[in-house]
Every structure is written in C-alpha cells, then in structure tokens.
Chains A and B, each alone.
Chain A
C-alpha cells in the first residue's frame, strides 16, 4: 500500500516560512503575509496528497530470461502503464532508480539464487517534488530467474585417463532427449532417420563424476566462503562437463538433498543457483567412480 514518506527539505523550508509569516502578520498586523501563509499551506497539502494519485495507478510487469550469471548484465523487459513521474528501484536485481515505462532495462545481479518475485520500491513526488510517497510491490516473474554463480577457474587433480575425451563405448543410437550434448549427435543416423539421433553409450563408471557441493551447515560459514564454494563448483563442473563427462551433482536445497545428473552448463548453473547451505547426503548405490568434494577442494577465497 502506498504511504507518504518523510517530507523533503523543501517542505521543512515551507513550514518554517509559514511560521515566520504568521509571526510577521501577528506583530505587524499586515494581511498579505496571511495570504502567503494560505498559499504555502495549500502547496504543502497538495504536495502531500497528490502523489497518491499516480502511485495508486502504478502497475509493473517484469519479464526476465530464465538464467543468468552473477555479475553479468541481464536485460529484463519492463511493462508499465504508470505515470513516468513514478520512480522505481529493484534492489534484488541491483538496479538503481529508474523512471517507470515500457521497454528494456539492464540489471546486473550480484547475488546467486533463484528469483521468483522481484521487490520493487516505487516512489513518487508528483508534481512538485516536495513530499515523496513510497510503495513496495512484489512483482511475480512469469518464470523463475536462476542466477548462477560466476565460475572460478579451477585446477582439478583428477586421474589422467578421466581427462581424455573419447574412448566411449557406443552401444547404439537413440532419439535425442533434452539435455543430450550436441557432440553426441550421430549425424549419419540422423540423416537416415530424419530426426536427431544420439549415440547411446555404454555405461562407464569413468564417465560419471560425483560433484558434492557442500556449502556448510546453515549459518555456519561466512557468506563469502559459501559463495566461493559455489563459484568453485561452477568452475569445476564446467571443466568436467568439458571433458565429456556426466556430472551427478549433489546439493542441498530447501526441501533436502537433491542428486541428479547434469549434462550441460545451464543445468549446472540452475542447480547451483538453487543450492543452499545444508546437509548433503550422497545416496547409496550411486555409480561411484570419481567424487569431487567441493568443501575439501575449494579452499578459501
């Protein structure tokens, strides 16, 4: 709900002048200062009440891409039918003040996470700029925005043979499924079938790597270390994906441990965006093989 904020310095000055003119009128008996007092009172009252009008009509819709990375500029679509005299600020997207309107805005998210709603602070001091009103609105995004951590370049100490690509045991071909890498497309089969076909590989425990992203217990670690681990995991995961391996990423999310295969960086970014500090329980019966423990490998920022 819109409410008046603290009056600006102009209002303080006007109120002081009201007092001064009233004193002058009382001591000199002159009438015109009273007319000025009345005008100043009218101005202050109008400045107080009028911003409520555009504020009450302010509407805002924000549309974002599904994914982004911390520190990278992101273009969001803003749709508003409000008066351009209303200012807005979206702290969650690290956006300074801008005038409401329709178009695109560039924001630079500074924090990892999943953004489902955007808190927008509206301010308006229509028309005289003396007494701003403010309103906090929560704008629902039509789809969540996953802000992935910025990947740190990492040095993984892995057995040499896991760094080689190829030596895959192709068992056959199958239709393309979302998440399959482009490098697995079997083009001849695709040409014959008329639809994308990918190599179906023999399961090889060397192709799977478990990435355990332990961000510590809730509140146990400083935020800088938590984010460092997330960024390190992003870098390590990207490097591992580049070797053609399939990651099985283990993270803690608000509902508990989540373990799942990740075949591309976007998916990795989303998993890391959703990750929160908490206990990470690696399920038994996984394929085993190489395990990368982020907590042990990431070190200190």
Chain B
C-alpha cells in the first residue's frame, strides 16, 4: 500500500509541467483575447507610453517566445519574470501609499499592475495550463476595464474579447482530447472532425451561453451605489468662471444671458446650443418656446431615479421667474465637503443616496444633485452653495468632468405625507415664508378662485398638492408644440383658462402659483429628470431634452418635497428596494434600434408568439404521444424492458439473443424458487395463452424487489 503524499510532494505534483501546447491557433486566440483585454484597459486612460508599448509589443513577442521555447524548462525566464513582477508590485505599493483620501484612485494603479502581470506572464506560457492562466488574466482585465467604463461602446470590446476567448477554451479542450489515443488500426488515422459541423456546434454553444447570460442578467440585482466606497471625481481643465459664485451657461450663447421669449417669438435668432436649456440662467421666461434636443449631456450613476436638481426660483412676475437668493457661500475643505443643509429638515428616516455625475457636454457651472445633498466630492474648490441648496462650481464643467454627491434622501411615502396635518407653525417663518408665498400683483382673481375651489376643506398639504395635480392632469394637456404667449398675458392664467396646453414650465408654474394662492409655500425648481437607465452600464443617460421644471412644496415636518405631474419619478420611500439588473433592457435596446414600421413590429411579435405557442404545443403533444406509446406496449414487453434495466444496473446487461430464463440464470436468480415461477409466468405470457392479473402482479412485485436490492 502506498504512503500518503506529503505537502511538498503534493505541491511538486501540482506543479508538474504538462505537455507543451502545439496548436498555433489556440495560442493565437489566447493572444488575441489578451491584447483585446489589455487594449480595453488602456482605452480607459490607464498607463503611460512605456506600459502601452510594453503591452502592444511585449505581449505578442512573449507569446512568440513561449511558443518557440515551449519544450524547454525555461528556468532563467521564470527567474527574470519573478524579478520583474517584484518590481511591478513594489511600484504599485509605492503608488498606493501616495494616494490620500480617495479610495477610487486605487483603481488605476491596480489596473496597471494587472497589465504588467499579463505582459510578464505572456513570456512563459508553454503549456495549455499556462495559456488557461492567460485567459483568466484577460478576463480579470476585461472586468477591470468594465469597472472603469461608463459608455455603451465597451460592449463592442467585450464582444471582441468574448469570441476569441470562447474559441480558445473550446479548442484547448479539443487539444487535450487529441492527445488521447483513439481506436484505429495499423496505419489507420482517426478521421479529422468535420470543420463545418465544428463551427456550427461552436456557434450553437455560444448562442446558448448568450441566451443563458441574458436570462441571468434579467434576474441579477442591479448594480448598487448605496454601499459604494469609491467616489470618483475628476476635472480636465480648470477654467474659472468670471464671477465667483455666479452662474455661467455657455450653452445659451450670447455670453450666457437669459433667453427672452418675446424676442424669439418676434423672429430673433439665438446662438443657443441645441442642447442648451433656458432654465439654467438667472431667470426663466415661461414665454420661451422650443425645447433642447436629445443630445446626451451627462450620465449619472445612482441606485434609483430622482430629480437631478439644479436651482430654484422664488419670484414670479406673471411671466418670468427669478430668484432673490443670489448670495452664494463658498465652501472649502478636504473632500468630502460637508454641505450646509439649507432648507432640509432632518426627519430621521433618510437613506444615503450616492450619485456620480459624468459630464458629457460642456454646460452650466451648476452642480446637479438629488434633493438634500449632504456631502460633495468635487475636484476643485471652492464650491458655492446658495441658500436654497443649489450649488455652483467655481470652474467651467467641461466634458470629462466627474463629481459625486451624497444626499440624505428622506424616505417620504405618500402615506406618511398624507398623515401630516398642517400645524399652526409649519417651520417657515417671516421673510422666508413670504418669499415662497409671493404672487404677482397682476394675478387674475380667477386663478385664486380656482385654487380655493380645489383646496378648500382639505387639511393636509399633501392632499392639496394632489388635488391640484389631479385637476391639471384632467383639464390640461402636455405638449411641446404650443403657441407663443400673448404679450402682457399672465402665463399661468393663460395656461389654466385659455390654452390648457403646455409643457413643464407652464405646468410647474401653475402648480406653484395655485399652491401659493392656497397658502402653501412652493417654488419652481429646474434641473434634469432622471433620464433613461442603461441596464448594461448601470448609468442613467441624461439628455438635454430631460431638462425639466417642477415644483418643490414645503410640507411641514417633511421639508421641501418635489412634485411634478409630468415626470415619472417616484418618492424615495415608495421606490422598490432592489431593482433587477436587466430591468428595462428590452425597452432600452429597442430605443437604440432604428424605428421599424409598426406593422412589421406587430408581425414579428405575432410570429414570435406563434412560434412559442407551436413549440410548447408540439412539445406537449410529443410527450403525450410518447406516454401513450409506452402505455400501449404489451405487459410482457414492459416487464422485460424493466428486467433488462435492473440487470444492467447489477452489471450484467442482457445479450440480444438471451431469453428471460437464460438471463435470469445468468443473474443467478433461478436459484430462488420464486424467480423460477416468475420466469414461468413471463414465458406463458409471451408464448402461451397469457396469464391472469394476479400472476402479473406477482411478477411485477418480484421485479420491484429486484430493483430495490
């Protein structure tokens, strides 16, 4: 009996070098996967020129060297790689100690270390096992690149990696099998596999894997941001704004001056960018017509949708909104900046809501954030905070800027807000309260009468808001195509009683004015709606057309709460606790495809449904038919089939010419008198006149007991 192996013997055994991999195709596929993975990481801005050259030249050279020296032990090569690896790790640790405060900055040095590992390892891949390690290393690098990527183009890189990696895995297994002997004969060579069938099988397997992956993606939990501990922030060029704390919006043209609706209505042209929103200015003219286009302006990483709040307006003159809160306070300090909670009430029931903003288009120096921002990770200081909680940067926000906001989002629910009655003092006092109850002197009486009509008798502020929202939803229409505002007309009065058609600025303004008329403090807020969630990147893609205006209403003991009847942004407390990763995938992907004629889409859907129904029905019919066929077989046939299965399980399959008696003899059963009787029964059933049911049952019992032995 052999002695058990010791630890060192096991280690030596595990490191025994296998046979060299001879297939050039396998090596080429692994090399391709490695290069694509390395390129994916380098494309995220990782690594300097030396590393890039090393990767693009060194990895192919290393693979070639490994192939040419595959039969040698290569001790010197291993020693050199070990030394180089030590140097890479030392450098990584040095960079790690230089990082202060920002955990997200570790991603880049870590990615570089992985690249060095792949590069050095490529010089010692003689065997199939080494090539497998390279494949795994490339998978890790693809994961690193995916972590750093925020765009959909990474999908193409992923596909470019997946195809050669999958093919390499397939061929490595075939290569392993090819080393085994195969039955042949003197001078007989095994027939080569049919190439067409091999490719067809590979394609079929890949399609199956992708289908399974899609199903898995649909049920995986969505990427979360709540527990994130890496908060990226970056800015490419620090170009300060002309007036510290002032608002600058280069997308509006004309030096960023507010857009005048009357001028536009009279045919004046503007150099406003197509993605510029007129609300991101010091005043908002509700007479402006035309909306920003669908240009992508930013991406937001967040665990749930919300309003990405920009700023608010508190004074309405019947047409224009302005703000009296213009004094911005500079905030400085180490990141994260602790923000003063202007206008927030700490209700205790809050959730930490992290949003990271990736600027795609240059825009206003507004720092967007979900309501109740508490901390800010911004790559420049100072940051200017206005009394209404709005934030502005001291530099222009160009493409590539990244910042992170942590909000303490109150978990409002409709039920909780409904239960809050209006106490004698609702938390806003004096000038602050008056500011948010301001109405233009020229406001027509019928607007006030409408407000009274809708809210009289309702105690809860929340219910008042919902009553006005419901009236607006029932009696007005949302449309981007509305006629110009008549000169001198009150925008709210015109919308509520004359046109009854408008977009978010009209609807939001109407809600604010009606609430103020009912004695409820409210203000008009502008920013972006949540945007469309990209299920692959996990980011909300915010377009210029998502620019939005909505109402913020002061609810006693709850603080400022956003309301908007036109955008679908649920209350934080009503949001589902955990989304699925694939949620919205079909809608998102359908939106990326060119629009198809409705008839064709309907036809495809019907065809798919029909095919599915036919498949299910066909499968069911096949199963039913199979069962019926089995049930129609004579009893003796079924008994013999079961007897054969039982015998095979005992290690003695039945020869085709073996009778039941001979088979029972071979199994040693006929020494038992009961089995001799059973064999008699079977023979009489098969060749005689048949047997009675009790005898059949006896034979079945004997067979059952044989199966249990």
Chain A residues, CB < 8 A from B181: 96, 98-99, 105
Q: Is B108 an interface residue (CB 8 A)?
A: no
Also in contact, A25 and B216, with CB within 8 A (given A42-B209, A99-B180): no
Q: CB of A260 within 8 A of chain B?
A: no
With A31-B537, A33-B143, A128-B169 known as contacts, the answer to whether A104 contacts B180 (CB < 8 A) is no
Task: Give the interface SS of chain A, mostly helix, strand, loop or mixed.
Answer: mixed
Contact A117 B651 (CB under 8 A): yes
User: Does A2 count as interface, using CB distance less than 8 angstroms?
Assistant: no
Is B154's CB within 8 Å of the partner chain A? yes
Complex contact B180–A87 (CB within 8 A): yes
Which residue from chain A places its CB closest to the CB of B149 in the assembled complex? A32
Contact in complex: A41, B535 (CB < 8 Å): no
Q: A129 and B169 in contact (CB under 8 A), knowing A29-B538, A35-B536, A103-B184?
A: yes
Contacts of A100 in B (CB 8 A): 182-183
- A289 contacts chain B at the CB level, 8 A cutoff: no
A98 to chain B minimum Cβ distance, whole angstroms, is 5
Contact status A99-B211, CB under 8 Å: no
B172 sits at the interface (CB 8 A): yes
Query: Which of B225-233, B319-327, B374-382, B519-527 has 4 or more CB atoms under 8 Å from chain A?
Result: B225-233
Q: How far is the CB of A120 from chain B (nearest CB, A)?
A: 11
Most A C-beta atoms less than 10 A away, residue of B182, B184, B539: B182
Q: Is residue A175 within 8 Å, beta carbon to beta carbon, of the partner chain?
A: no
- Provide the residues of chain B in CB contact with A101, threshold 8 Å: 182-184, 190
User: Within 8 Å CB of B222, what residues of A?
Assistant: 31, 34
Docked CA distance A37–B154 (Å): 15
Contact of B208 among A10, A33, A46 (CB under 8 A): A46
B653 near A139 with CB under 8 A, answer yes
Contact assessment for A129 and B214 in the assembled complex, using a CB-CB cutoff below 8 Å: no
Given contacts A39-B162, A84-B182, A99-B177, contact A129 B216 (CB under 8 A): no
Query: Which residue of the partner chain, among B173, B183, B216, B228, contacts A102 with CB atoms under 8 Å?
Result: B183
Partner of B217, one of A34, A128, A138: A34
Select from chain A the residue with minimum beta-carbon distance to B154. A32
**How distant is the Cα of A98 from the Cα of B183 in the complex, in angstroms?**
8
B537 pairs with A98, CB closer than 8 A: no
Of B4-12, B132-140, B275-283, the one contacting chain A is B132-140
Output the nearest chain B residue to A128 by Cβ-Cβ distance.
Answer: B169
Cα–Cα distance between A117 and B210 once the two chains are bound (Å): 43
Q: Which residues of A contact B702 (CB under 8 A)?
A: none
User: Do A43 and B209 form a contact, CB below 8 Å, given A29-B354, A38-B214, A84-B182?
Assistant: yes
Say whether B581 faces chain A, with CB atoms less than 8 Å apart: yes
Judged by a CB distance under 8 angstroms, whether A195 is at the interface is: no
Does the CB pair A25–B652 fall under 8 Å? no
Which A residues are in CB contact (< 8 Å) with B254? Answer: none
Q: Evaluate contact between A29 and B228: CB separation under 8 angstroms.
A: yes
Contact pattern, A 86-130, Cβ under 8 Å of B = 1, otherwise 0: 010000000011111111110000000000110100000111111
B301 at interface (Cβ–Cβ under 8 A)? yes
Interface flag for B193 (CB, 8 Å): yes
Interchain CB contact (< 8 A) of A103 among B136, B172, B182, B228: B182
Is there an interface contact between B173 and A104, defined as CB atoms closer than 8 Å? no
B132 near A31 with CB under 8 A, answer: no
For residue A84, which residues in chain B have a CB less than 8 angstroms away from its CB? 177, 182, 190, 193
- Per-position binary interface string of chain A over residues 40-54, scored 1 when its CB falls under 8 Å from any chain B CB and 0 otherwise: 011101100010000
- Contact in complex: B158, A29 (CB < 8 Å): no
Determine whether the beta carbon of A13 is less than 8 Å from that of B538.
no
Is B347 at the interface (CB under 8 A from chain A)?
A: no
The verdict on A185 contacting chain B, using a C-beta distance below 8 Å, is no
A32 to B183, CA, bound (A): 47
Say yes or no: B170 contacts A30, CB within 8 Å: no
In the complex, whether A140 has a CB less than 8 A from a CB of chain B is yes
Question: In the bound complex, how far is the Cα of B139 from the Cα of A20, in angstroms?
Answer: 12
Query: Which residues on A sit within 8 Å (CB–CB) of B229?
Result: 27
Residues A45 and B212 in contact in the complex (CB < 8 Å), given A33-B147, A36-B142, A138-B648: yes
Given A31-B535, A31-B536, A84-B193 in contact, is the A127-B201 Cβ separation under 8 Å? yes
Among A42, A97, A117, A139, residue most surrounded by chain B Cβ atoms (within 10 Å): A42
Counting chain A residues whose Cβ lies within 8 A of the other chain, the interface size class is 35 or more
Q: Within 8 Å CB of B303, what residues of A?
A: 29
Convert B331-367 into 0s and 1s, putting 1 for each residue whose CB lies closer than 8 angstroms to a CB of A: 0000000000000000000000010100000000000
> For residue A21, which residues in chain B have a CB less than 8 angstroms away from its CB?
143
B104 to chain A, nearest CB (A): 8
Bound Cα distance from A275 to B71, whole angstroms: 50
Distance (whole angstroms) from the CB of B29 to the closest CB of chain A: 13
- B209 contacts A46, C-beta separation under 8 Å: yes
Are B170 and A140 in contact (CB-based, < 8 A)?
Answer: no
In the assembled complex, the Cα of A127 lies from the Cα of B170 at a distance in Å of 6
- Asked whether A50 lies within 8 Å of B183 as measured between CB atoms, the reply is no
Q: Tell whether A156 is near chain B: CB-to-CB under 8 Å.
A: no
Q: Does B534 contact A (CB under 8 A)?
A: yes
A173 CB–B CB distance under 8 Å? no
Q: B220's closest neighbor in chain A, by CB?
A: A34
Which residues of chain B come closer than 8 Å to A78, judged between CB atoms? 183
Tell me the complex Cα distance, A10–B205, Å.
18
What's the Cα separation between A238 and B538 when bound, in Å? Answer: 83
Q: Which chain A residues lie closer than 8 Å to B651 at the CB level?
A: 117, 119, 138
User: Is A26 an interface residue when CB atoms closer than 8 A count as contact?
Assistant: yes
Interface residue B224 (Cβ < 8 Å from any Cβ of A): yes
Residues on A with C-beta less than 8 A from B145 are: 32
Chain A, 254-295, contact with B by CB distance < 8 Å: what is the 0/1 string? 000000000000000000000000000000000000000000
Q: Does A242 touch B at the CB level, under 8 Å? A: no
Asked if A105 and B217 sit within 8 Å, CB to CB, the answer is no
Name the A residues within 8 Å of B185 (CB-CB): 103-104
The verdict on A24 contacting chain B, using a C-beta distance below 8 Å, is yes
Contact present for A27 and B228 (CB under 8 Å): yes
Check: A85 CB closer than 8 A to any chain B CB.
Answer: yes
Whether A127 contacts B202 in the complex (CB less than 8 A), given A27-B229, A117-B651, comes out as yes
B146 touches A127 (CB 8 A): no
- State A155–B581 Cα separation when bound (angstroms): 83
Contacts of B182 in A (CB 8 A): 84, 98-101, 103
A35–B180 Cα gap in the complex (Å)?
37
Q: Which of A29, A98, A102, A125 lies in contact with B225, CB distance below 8 A?
A: A29
Whether B76 sits at the interface, judged by CB under 8 Å, is no
Is A24 touching B147 in the complex (CB atoms < 8 A)? yes
Is B176 in contact with chain A by the CB < 8 A criterion?
yes
The CB with the most chain B CB atoms within 10 A, among A31, A41, A127, is that of A31
Residues from chain A with Cβ under 8 Å of B655 in the complex: 140, 142
Q: Are A34 and B581 in contact (CB under 8 A)?
A: yes
Is B439 an interface residue when CB atoms closer than 8 A count as contact? no
| A125-160 near B? 1/0 per residue, CB < 8 Å | 111111000000011101000000000000000000
Instruction: Name the 6 nearest CB pairs between A and B, nearest first.
Output: A31-B538, A32-B146, A129-B173, A103-B183, A42-B213, A42-B212
A-B contact pairs, 22 of them (CB 8 A): A17-B143, A25-B223, A28-B147, A28-B228, A29-B356, A31-B222, A32-B537, A35-B158, A36-B142, A36-B146, A38-B581, A42-B208, A42-B209, A84-B182, A100-B183, A101-B182, A101-B190, A102-B183, A117-B652, A128-B170, A138-B653, A140-B652
| Interface of A toward B, CB cutoff 8 Å | 10, 13, 17, 20-21, 24-39, 41-43, 45-46, 50, 78, 80, 84-85, 87, 96-105, 116-117, 119, 125-130, 138-140, 142
14 other contacts beyond A32-B537, A101-B182, A116-B652, with CB at 8 A cut-off? A25-B224, A25-B538, A28-B228, A29-B302, A32-B145, A34-B222, A37-B216, A38-B214, A41-B216, A42-B210, A42-B216, A103-B190, A126-B173, A127-B205
